Chains A and B, each alone.
Chain A
Amino acid sequence: MKISTKGRYGLEAIVDLAIHSSEGRVNLKSIAERCEMSEAYILQIFLILRRAGIVESIRGAQGGYVLARDPSQITVGDILTVLEGPLAPVPCIAEKVKRSKSNCDRFENCTARSFWEGIMNTLNDVANSITIEDLVKCYNSSISQNIELDYYI
């Protein structure tokens, strides 16, 4: 049970976008360079995030991407749910979350299923409690610590 590359890279690219948004719109090439990812892969991820209303694209020579909401209003859970689907540890729960009928005729009365749902709820609670702003703050404080270190050396 792993978060895929898409989820991990997507989250990293969004935090990078949030960090550099203060300078205006951010182009994918600069994100790709800083995060050491392919631009095509980030584009693929950002198209999904744009449809989900998490980023907005601005066309033109000075075009690029901005966050559609304040970083304090976007949670890690928002990003992971869009890119990964429900954080469901077993398929029967993922089907339920997507509102399709479960293939399992034991579904309603299954002890294991309710245990797995507990895991999904716990993972969602953690992901929903962390905002992109929290991660930007973490980044800013780690960078300022490094600058202080350089200064004193």
Chain B
Amino acid sequence: MRFSTKGRYGLRAMIDLAVYSNGEHVTLASIAERQGISTNYLEQVFSTLRKSGLVKSAKGAQGGYVLAESPSDIKVGRILRVLEGPLSVTDENDENSSGNESAIRKCIRVNVWEKMNSSLNELVDSVTLEDLAEDYRKRNGIDSTMYYI
């Protein structure tokens, strides 16, 4: 029952970008250094994030990445679905929800897996990237007001 490294590292990189960007482009090298993730790996993750419209890139000396929307408008569930696909505790292919699904299996699917899935999706959609960025600033003693001076 694990999220892949893409989802895990991708979420941390998005939090980092939300905290350190403040509208400016941030290089993957600086995210990589702060978060202890390889730049090569971040390139793959950011390619996915860019295609989905969550981040924008700029080339050149001042290049890097910036969030495409305000962090308060980005639900964490959206980031995770972009990186991981639909969030479900069971694999669709394993689940035999066709006509010959046994009575026990149907009871388990409806009462267990579907309830876990809806709780999971509700939770990740109730948290925004800004919520996590705010938590990160607090934990790391970063004053958010300094960016607005």
Check: A1 CB closer than 8 A to any chain B CB. yes
Nearest Cβ distance between residue B59 and chain A, in whole angstroms? Answer: 29
Question: Which B residues lie within 8 Å of A127 (CB)?
Answer: 112, 116
A12–B105 Cα gap in the complex (Å)?
7
A128–B111 Cα gap in the complex (Å)?
12
CB closest residue in chain A, given B100: A36
Number of residues on chain A facing chain B (CB within 8 A): 45
CB closest residue in chain A, given B4: A1
Check: A3 CB closer than 8 A to any chain B CB. yes
Within 8 Å by CB of B2, from A34, A91, A111, lies A91
Cβ < 8 Å to B, chain A residues 67-115: 76, 84-85, 87-91, 106, 109-112, 114-115
Within 8 Å by CB of B120, from A19, A36, A119, A143, lies A119
Within 8 Å by CB of B91, from A2, A16, A87, A109, lies A2
Question: Which B residues lie within 8 Å of A138 (CB)?
Answer: 107, 110-111
Number of residues on chain B facing chain A (CB within 8 A): 39
Nearest Cβ distance between residue B134 and chain A, in whole angstroms? Answer: 9
Nearest Cβ distance between residue B54 and chain A, in whole angstroms? Answer: 16
Nearest Cβ distance between residue B103 and chain A, in whole angstroms? Answer: 5
A106–B34 Cα gap in the complex (Å)?
11
Within 8 Å by CB of B140, from A34, A109, A115, lies A109
Contact with B along A1-24 (1 / 0, CB 8 A): 111110010011001100100000
A139–B111 Cα gap in the complex (Å)?
11
A19–B135 Cα gap in the complex (Å)?
48
Within 8 Å by CB of A118, from B36, B89, B123, lies B123
Contact (Cβ within 8 A) A16 B1: no
Question: Which A residues lie within 8 Å of B123 (CB)?
Answer: 118-119, 122
Check: A135 CB closer than 8 A to any chain B CB. yes
Question: Which B residues lie within 8 Å of A89 (CB)?
Answer: 1-3
Question: Which A residues lie within 8 Å of B91 (CB)?
Answer: 2
New A-B contacts (10) at CB < 8 Å, excluding given A89-B1, A90-B2, A119-B123 = A1-B2, A1-B84, A2-B1, A3-B1, A34-B102, A85-B1, A88-B2, A122-B119, A134-B111, A146-B103
When A and B form their complex, which 5 residue pairs have the shortest distance between CB atoms, in order from nearest?
Answer: A138-B107, A111-B136, A111-B135, A142-B103, A109-B139
A-B contact pairs, 29 of them (CB 8 A): A1-B3, A1-B84, A2-B89, A12-B104, A15-B104, A16-B104, A36-B102, A88-B1, A89-B1, A89-B3, A90-B2, A91-B2, A109-B140, A111-B15, A111-B139, A115-B11, A115-B76, A115-B127, A118-B123, A119-B120, A119-B123, A122-B119, A123-B116, A126-B115, A130-B112, A135-B104, A135-B111, A142-B107, A143-B103
